[in-house]
Amino acid sequence: MTVKNPLGLHARPATMIAKLLQGTKSSVCFTYKKETINARSIMSILVLAAGQNAQLLITVDGEDAEFVLKKLLDAFDTQFGE
């Protein structure tokens, strides 16, 4: 997935991702520049320092994986409402 926000994955999108994943059962990981993090952690997302146009690999595994992936892709496509 490409990060489209002009400011990249800063605090606001990181918080939105963590909230979006609340109540879901799948494990979600982001990989950027050979570093893989748990996408439920706001701090971990911020540590990735993924700027605009960064290419992330999103890995979702679990019983609601398809639903969770769709929600994440929609959020990235709409630039987290920014």
**Number of residues that this document lists for the chain:** 82
What is the distance between the alpha carbons of residues 21 and 34, in angstroms, rounded to a whole number? 23
Query: For residue 25, which of 68, 73, 74 has the smallest C-alpha distance?
Result: 68
Residue 10 catalytic? yes
Residue of 4, 10, 40, 71 marked active site = 10
Q: Is residue 58 helix, strand or coil?
A: strand
> Residues with catalytic annotation?
10
